[in-house]
Structure 1
Amino acid sequence: MLELPLSNPHPTHARRRGRPSKAEQARRGDARPALIEAAHELMLLKNSIDVSVVDIANRLGQSAAVVQYHFDGKDGLLWAVLRRGTNRAVEQLTNLKTEDIPADQKLRYHIRGLLKAYYDAPYVNALMHHLSENSGPGGRDAVMMEFARPLVDFYEAVLAQGVREGIFRPVEPMFVYMMLIGASDYIFSRRSALPALFDVSDLTDAIRRDYTDFLTTSLLKAISV
């Protein structure tokens, strides 16, 4: 009599569920950089941070479980995406603050870098808001201290330097922060409205450069003695 097997004779062919095993992850390599890049690309494509874990994983031909394995869920991945878009900018900002150059030149360099950062990752402020509201107790403070406080520190130091140099009048750092961050965020996060309002099909690099010059001139005129 033919005996039927009581279990799958080829268990390695069974469909895996849940988290991938450590051995499988070692075989695949570290998927974190690729997942961060996939999330970044989808947010740019949709002009929104409302992207699903399934869509992100599918972009790499993997299951959604890989996001849970590497980042403990979607918000962990979003933190990594936010750091991808801000870590280098924060490092450059810290270095610029101590450079031996006039205060107005520091602001010119900073605004150029700020607009470039928003051009490359226009979803940054939306991510900060999402993580502030969804990171549990202390989440808002953690986000602000990591990503926004370095900007405030920079503005405080550079504005004070400009006053000492006799080129800036006393100005509240909060006003400069709101002006620059608000102006940088709005034009890129609302780019889908530009065709209807201004007959601009897309925000090109040339427009970014012109906007950078406009914003720089506007701020320096407002705070110069």
Structure 2
Amino acid sequence: MVDEKEKDSTEQKIIAAAKQVFHEKGLDGARMQDIADKAGINKALLHYYFRSKDKLFEMIFREAVARLIPKVGILFLEDVPLFEKIEKFVDFYIAMLIENPYLPLFVMNEIQKESGREFLEGIFNGKKPAVHVLAKQIEEEVAKGNIKPIKPMQLTMNMVSMCIFPFMGRPMIKLLWDINEEQFMQAMEERKKHVVQFIIDSIRK
């Protein structure tokens, strides 16, 4: 019988190995044998813990989304100036995507399914990010004349889309600019500052 501590340790090894393999090769390129080799176990043991590559991929990225949503909600609720909130949001969001570069594609695939609404409701767990708090802060800054007039939804979509798009278009960007994975990730680190500056410059009076 498998000891519970040993079971947890093996599962964590598998999950860590799978994250690395998915990060390097994506869902289509990854093989269960690659994950088993990276985890230092045999393929039969891997299948004992996880029946398929798809199930393992889904579990990893569902957990990643579940971690992302509450943290975004906390950022929206923070009592800090708008520009600082934008900076924190972009830094966190891109850092999360660097750690989980296939997350946007996974989420997009899930929400396009018939069960997409159920997926989102399960992720939010009854607690959607407090966009109304951010919206109120944006509206107040507009009313004070501190920033240019802009609808909160448009500003929020600008922030999110500028963070997400490079990861959605990752293969195309790497091909067009003839860069490898390491160079792409370096560009994403640099992008944290570029996105913040671009967003702030677009609304600053």
Question: Hey, what's the Cα distance between the residues in 2 that align with 1:217 and 1:195?
Answer: 24
Segments of structure 2 that go 5 or more residues without pairing to the other structure are: none
Q: 1:162 to 1:149 in 2, by over 3 A?
A: farther
Deviation, 1:172, is: 4.5
* CA displacement 1:5-64 (0-9 Å, x = unmatched): xxxxxxxxxxxxxxxxxx146484223222221221111211x22233443234322335
Tell me, in whole angstroms, the C-alpha distance in 1 between the residues paired with 2:188 and 2:127: 21
TM-aligned CA distance change 1:170 to 1:191, over 3 Å: closer
**Does 2:198 correspond to 1:222?**
no
Distance 1:164 1:84 in 2: 35
2-side partners of 1:221 and 1:152: how far apart? Answer: 29
Deviations 1:68-104 (A, max 9, x none): x545644442232114434443333232222221222
| Residue of structure 2 equivalent to 1:179 | 158
Higher relative contact order (CA 8 A, sep 6+): 2
The corresponding residue for 1:144 is 120
Structure 1 residues 147-182: Cα deviation after superposition (integer angstroms, max 9, x where no partner): 589997344421321212434534152x34543333
Secondary structure of 1:153's match? coil
Q: Which residue of 2 aligns with 1:203?
A: 184
Unaligned runs of 5+ residues in structure 1 are 1-22
Secondary structure of the structure 1 residue equivalent to 2:80: coil
Q: Which amino acid aligns with 1:44?
A: H
> Could you tell me whether the CA contact under 8 Å between 1:118 and 1:188 is conserved in 2?
yes
Match of 1:42 in 2: 21
1:109 corresponds to: 88
The equivalent of 2:78 in structure 1 is 99
Contact 1:115 1:184 in 2 (8 A): yes
Q: What is the count of residue pairs matched by the alignment?
A: 196
2:7 matched to 1:29? yes
Asked whether the 8 Å contact 1:79–1:131 carries over to 2, the reply is: no
Q: For 1:186 and 1:74, how far apart are their aligned partners in 2? A: 26
Q: Partners in 1 of 2:83 and 2:131 — Cα distance?
A: 11
Map residues 10-159 of structure 1 onto 2, 5 A cutoff.
Answer: 23-24=1-2, 26=4, 28-30=6-8, 31-46=10-25, 48-50=26-28, 51-60=30-39, 61-64=41-44, 66-67=46-47, 69-71=48-50, 73-132=52-111, 138=115, 140-147=116-123, 153-159=129-135
- How much has 1:122 moved relative to structure 2? 0.8
SS of alignment partner, residue 129 of structure 2: helix
Aligned mates of 1:27, 1:161 — CA distance in 2: 47
Offset at 1:106?
Answer: 0.9
Distance 1:63 1:101, change over 3 A: same
Based on CA coordinates, which of the two structures has the bigger radius of gyration? 1
The one-letter amino acid paired with 1:36 is I
TM-score, structure 2 length as denominator?
Answer: 0.74
The letter of the residue matching 1:106 is K
- How far off its partner does 1:214 sit? 1.9
Identical-residue share of aligned pairs (%): 16
